[in-house]
Amino acid sequence: MADYKLIGKPYSTADLVAKATGRAKYAEDFRADGMLFAKLLVSPMPHGRVRSIDTSAAEAMPGVEAILTADDLPAADAPNETSLTNEPKYEGEPILAVAAVDETTAADAIEAIRVDMEPLPFAVDPLDSLRPGGPDARLDGNTMINRELATVKWDNVDWAAIDRGEMPTDGAISEEWEVGDVEAGLAEADMVLDETLFHQSMGHQPMETRTAMAYWQNGKCYLHVSTQSTQRTHGAAARGIGIAPEDLVLVSEYCGGGFGSKIFGFIQMNIPALLSQKAGKPVMMRITRQDEHFIGRARPGLQGRVRIGFRRDGRITAMDMFAVQDNGPYGQSGDFVVWPDMASLMYMPLSHRFRGISVYTNTPPRSPQRAPGGLQAVSMFAPLMQKAARQLDIDPLELIRINAPAGQAKIGRPDENGQQGNVTSAFVSEIADLAEEQLDWPAMRARSGQRNGTKVTGVGVALSSFNAGAWGMDGLLTIRPDGRVYIQSGVGNLGTESVFDTARCAMEALKTDWDQAEVIWGDTSKHLPWSTVQAGSTTTWAHTRANYAAGEDAKRKLQEIAARDLGGSPDDYDVADGRVFRRGARSTGLC
C-alpha cells in the first residue's frame, strides 16, 4: 500500500466539536426577527379533487399573515408533483400552507379553513390497479411506457393464482431485456428454483425532518434547508421558488439524515420561501414527524417472480426475473430496473432476462433509498441462494464463490448494440476467502441449526453489491496569504463526513498537514464548486479524484511561481509541509 501522509490516517473532522456540543445548526435551529411559523393542511383521503377552499375565517384570525395554495404555484408536467396540489394523490399530501405569528395560531388557522373535496378512485396495491376493472391511482394512467403515461390492465393472466400468492410471468410490461437464451439455460439446469417474492416499501424516516426556513433581503432569497447535496440542491430550489439561481443563497451546513430522500432537498422546501415573499417576513416551516410519514418518501416496493437454474456444481445457468413495482403516485422510480442489474452482477448467470412494470399507487411518493434497487436484490435473492445451497448440498459461501463476479465484470441490461456495461472492480472471491479465514466460517456454519431449549441458531451468508460513480466534477481550493489552504466543497454534510474526507486528498497532493487546511462548505454564497450529489457513494468516487487533482494543480502552480522567482525549472522544486523548496536543498525555497 502507498505510504500516504493523510489518506487512511485518523483525524478529527471540522464539525466534530460542533456536533458533540450541540452548536451545530440545522435548518430548524435558525431564527430571525419577526419570524413566522408555517403549518400544512393535508389531504384526509388517498385521492381526491378540491372543489372549493374557504379561508375567510382563518384570514380573519389575529396573527395569520399569509396563506399559500396550489393556485399560487406553477403547474408541473405529469407525472411530476408540486409542493401543494388541488388533486392530492395520497393521504397527507399538502393542499395549502398557512404562516402565522406562532405555530399554535397557524394550527388553529388550519382548523378554521374549510375544504370541500370530491373523493376519487384510489389504489394502494399495484396489483389492484392491474386487475381488469380495478381503480387507478391517477386519472391519466397507471404506468409509464416509453416516457408516456398509459393504462395497463392484466386481462390475460390467472388472477386466481395471483390471489393465492403466485405471481404470473405473462402480464403486460413496460421494460424487457435478455442476455443469452434464458429458456435454454433453464432447460439445461439440473435444478430450477421458482419463487414468488415480495419486498415491502420502506419509509426513510431521517432523524431530521424536512424543515426549512426562508427570508428575503435586497431581492435575494435566503433558504436554510435540510439537504444531502448543497450545490446540486441550489438549482432545484431556485426553480421551485421561481427565481434565478444567482438570487438564491442556500444554506445547509448539517443534514440530520436523508438516506436518499433529500438528494436534491425536497419538493416542499419552496413553501416557506413563497410564504415569506407574500408576508414580507421570515418563515420557518417545521415538519412534524406525522407529516414526515406522509411527505418523507419511501423506497419502492417490489413484487416479483424469479426462476433460477443451477447446475449440480452450483453454477447458475439462467436467471429469469419478473417484477411489479409500487411507484407511489408521482415520477418514475428506477429501482425495479436496477434490481435485475444488481442480481446479474452479484451472481453472474450465464443467461438472464428481466421483464417488469412500475405501477402508480395512492401511497406516499417514492425516492431512492440507500442502494436503490440493489438492496431489494440483496434481500430477495440471498434467501434463494441459501435454499439452493441446501438442495445442492453446497456450502453457501462456496456457492457465492462459484458465481462471483471478478475484475471488470459485466452488469445487467445490454445497450442498443447488445453490449453490456461493466464495473471497474469486483473482488468477491477475495473477500469471501478473507471472511472464511477471519470468521472461522466452518465453525460458524457448524453452529447453524443447533437447538438450545426453545432457541435455534441460524447462520447464513449473503452478498451485497451496488454500482455508482460520477465524473466531470470540480475541485476548488485557494492558498491565501495567511498560508492556509481553503478547500471549497459543494457536497452536503450528511453525517458520513465525506465532505471532509475527500478534501483531505487535496492536502495529500500538497504533502501538507491537515491542520493547515480549512474546508468551506454548506453555503452557496461562498463559491462552492460544481459537485456531485451526496448519494450512492458517488461522493467518494468523484471528489477524492477532483480534490486530488485540485491539489496537484496547486502544487504545479507553486512550482511555477518558485521557478519564476528563484530560477530554474518548475520540476526543480517540490512542495511539502506547507513549503515550496528546491529538491535536495529544503532550506532554499518559498516560505
Interstrand relation of 517-521 and 485-489 (parallel, antiparallel or unpaired): parallel
pLDDT in the model for residue 340: 97
Q: What is the DSSP letter of 483?
A: S
- The sheet carrying 485-489 orders its strands as 476-479, 485-489, 517-521
**Which three cell numbers mark 393?**
448440498
What's the rounded Cα separation, in Å, for the pair 413 and 254? 38
What's the rounded Cα separation, in Å, for the pair 269 and 467? 30
**Helices 270-279 and 230-241, packing angle to 10 deg:** 50
Answer whether 31-120+210-285 and 164-202+298-456 agree in fold.
no
Q: Give 10-residue mean pLDDT values along the chain (591 residues).
A: 86 93 95 97 98 98 98 95 98 98 98 98 98 98 96 97 95 97 98 97 94 97 97 96 98 95 96 98 97 96 97 98 98 96 97 98 96 95 97 97 96 92 93 95 93 94 88 94 95 91 97 97 96 88 95 97 94 95 87 67
pLDDT in the model for residue 496: 87
- The residues that bridge with 39 in the sheet, in sequence order, are 98
Instruction: Identify the residue whose cell numbers are 452557496.
Output: 524
Q: How far is CA 279 from CA 214, 274, 275, in A?
A: 11, 9, 6
What's the rounded Cα separation, in Å, for the pair 25 and 226? 11
Task: Tell me the three state secondary structure of residue 173.
Answer: coil
Q: What is the DSSP letter of 427?
A: B
pLDDT in the model for residue 525: 97
pLDDT in the model for residue 587: 84
Interstrand relation of 148-150 and 114-119 (parallel, antiparallel or unpaired): unpaired
Backbone φ, ψ for residue 571 (5° rounding): -70, -10
- The residues that bridge with 148 in the sheet, in sequence order, are 145
Q: Where are the beta strands (DSSP E) in 137-253?
A: 143-145, 148-150, 175-179, 191-199, 202-203, 212-217, 220-225, 248-251
**Which three cell numbers mark 318?**
439462467
Q: Is the N-terminal amide bond of 79 cis, ω within 30° of 0?
A: yes
Helix (H) or strand (E) holding 336: helix 335-347
DSSP state letters, 530-567: P---S-TTHHHHHHHHHHHHHHHHHHHHHHHHHHHHH-
Q: How far is CA 167 from CA 224, 321, 339, in A?
A: 46, 11, 17
**Which three cell numbers mark 535?**
448519494
Task: Tell me the three state secondary structure of residue 41.
Answer: strand
pLDDT in the model for residue 591: 67
pLDDT in the model for residue 144: 97
- Residues 499-521: b if buried by 16+ CB within 10 A, e if exposed: bbbbbbbbbbbbbbebeebebbb
- Nearest alpha-carbon partner for 488 in 419, 550, 420, 573: 550
Backbone φ, ψ for residue 310 (5° rounding): -125, 140
CA-angle at 301, arms to 537 and 193, nearest 5°: 95
Q: Which CATH architecture has domain 476-590?
A: 2-Layer Sandwich (3.30)
Is 1.10.10.10 the CATH classification of the domain at 31-120+210-285?
no
Taking residue 553's Cβ as centre, other Cβ atoms within 10 Å add up to 15
What's the rounded Cα separation, in Å, for the pair 41 and 109? 10
Provide the residue type at 73 as one letter. L
Helix (H) or strand (E) holding 17: helix 16-21
CATH of domain 164-202+298-456: 3.30.365.10
pLDDT in the model for residue 30: 95
Looking at 40-178, list the stretches that DSSP marks H as alpha helix, in order from N- to C-terminal side: 56-59, 103-112, 126-130, 159-163
**Helices 335-347 and 374-392, packing angle to 10 deg:** 40
Contact yes or no for 494/255 (Cβ under 8 A): yes
pLDDT in the model for residue 586: 86
- The residues that bridge with 574 in the sheet, in sequence order, are 581
What's the rounded Cα separation, in Å, for the pair 454 and 448? 15
Burial of 481 (0-12, 13-18, 19+ CB in 10 A): exposed
**Which three cell numbers mark 109?**
388557522
Taking residue 448's Cβ as centre, other Cβ atoms within 10 Å add up to 12
Domain ranges of the chain: 31-120+210-285, 164-202+298-456, 476-590
Q: Where are the beta strands (DSSP E) in 275-349?
A: 283-285, 298-299, 301-310, 316-326
pTM across the whole model: 0.94
